[in-house]
């Protein structure tokens, strides 16, 4: 295992986020198995919340699916979230993530598109698309060009 993954494993063990992820997986009656790079994969998650097909808490990737293949884009995406948990210091990432999702929704009407955590984890790998800002937001940030020639001359 690469040093950075060993470090992520240790940091997320110490900050309690991996233990929290294992608890979430058990609450959702998911089956835990080892995954590459010090991760755990919890398959068959049964709770309705969160609605995402896969999510990550600490080094535990939780999914409703029967499997997420090693090397898949979705696994890479979720693994980046595991690294984000380490950088954020653990479960404090959850309120930060929710705030970022709220910001994204306010700007675009989509929880992932302008969410800094999803963008850094790879929008496309996570099944997200880059949505434009809402029309009202666009009107605020896009200036109309000044009219160069109004037909009158002011000096
Ligand atoms: Zn994601």
- The tens digit of pLDDT for each residue in 37-90 reads 999 999 999 999 999 999 999 999 999 999 999 999 999 999 999 999 999 999
Q: Do 30 and 4 share a domain, yes or no?
A: yes
- Total of domains in the chain: 2
**What six digits make up the tokens of 76?**
């890479």
Dist. CA 139 → ligand 1 center (Å): 29
Dist. CA 2 → ligand 1 center (Å): 22
Q: Do 57 and 5 share a domain, yes or no?
A: yes
Dist. CA 69 → ligand 1 center (Å): 16
Dist. CA 24 → ligand 1 center (Å): 17
Let me know: does 66 contact 44? Beta carbons within 8 Å. Answer: yes
Mean pLDDT, the chain, whole residue set: 93
Residue 99 domain-assigned (yes or no)? yes
Q: Do 64 and 49 share a domain, yes or no?
A: yes
Q: Do 8 and 27 share a domain, yes or no?
A: yes
Dist. CA 71 → ligand 1 center (Å): 16
pLDDT at 147: 59
Q: Do 99 and 64 share a domain, yes or no?
A: no
Residue 155 domain-assigned (yes or no)? no
Share of the chain above pLDDT 90, in %: 86
Residue 154 domain-assigned (yes or no)? no
pLDDT at 91: 97
Ligand 1 ion: nearby residues, β-carbon < 5 Å: 118, 121, 126
Dist. CA 142 → ligand 1 center (Å): 29
Integer angstrom CA distances of residue 41 from 70, 95, 109: 10, 23, 30
Q: Do 68 and 111 share a domain, yes or no?
A: no
Residue 152 domain-assigned (yes or no)? no
Q: Cis peptide before 50, with omega less than 30 degrees from 0?
A: yes
Last residue of a domain, one of 71, 89, 107: 89
pLDDT at 137: 87
Dist. CA 144 → ligand 1 center (Å): 35
CA–CA separation, 25 vs 39, rounded Å?
13
pLDDT at 146: 64
pLDDT at 40: 98
* Domain housing 113: 92-144
Model confidence pLDDT, tens digit, residues 111-147:
999 999 999 999 999 999 999 999 998 888 876 666 5
Could you give the residue ranges of the DSSP H alpha helices within the chain?
3-14, 17-27, 73-88, 93-108, 116-121, 135-141
Integer angstrom CA distances of residue 153 from 24, 80, 146, 147, 149: 70, 58, 15, 12, 8
User: Is residue 151 predicted with pLDDT exceeding 90?
Assistant: no
Q: Do 5 and 21 share a domain, yes or no?
A: yes
pLDDT at 142: 73
pLDDT at 18: 98
pLDDT at 148: 55
């Amino acid at each position: 295992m690469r040093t950075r993954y060993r470090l992520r494993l240790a940091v997320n063990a110490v900050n309690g986020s991996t233990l929290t992820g294992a608890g979430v997986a058990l609450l959702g009656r998911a089956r835990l198995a080892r995954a590459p790079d010090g991760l755990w994969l919890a398959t068959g998650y049964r709770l309705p919340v969160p609605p995402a097909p896969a999510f990550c808490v600490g080094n535990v990737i939780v999914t409703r699916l029967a499997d997420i293949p090693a090397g898949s884009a979705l696994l890479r995406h979720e693994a980046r979230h595991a690294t984000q948990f380490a950088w954020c210091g653990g479960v404090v990432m959850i309120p930060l993530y929710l705030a970022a999702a709220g910001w994204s929704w306010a700007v675009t009407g989509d929880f992932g598109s302008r969410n800094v955590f999803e963008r850094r984890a790879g929008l496309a790998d996570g099944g997200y698309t880059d949505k434009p800002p809402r029309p009202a937001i666009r009107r605020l940030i896009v200036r109309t060009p000044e009219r160069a020639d109004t037909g009158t001359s002011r000096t």
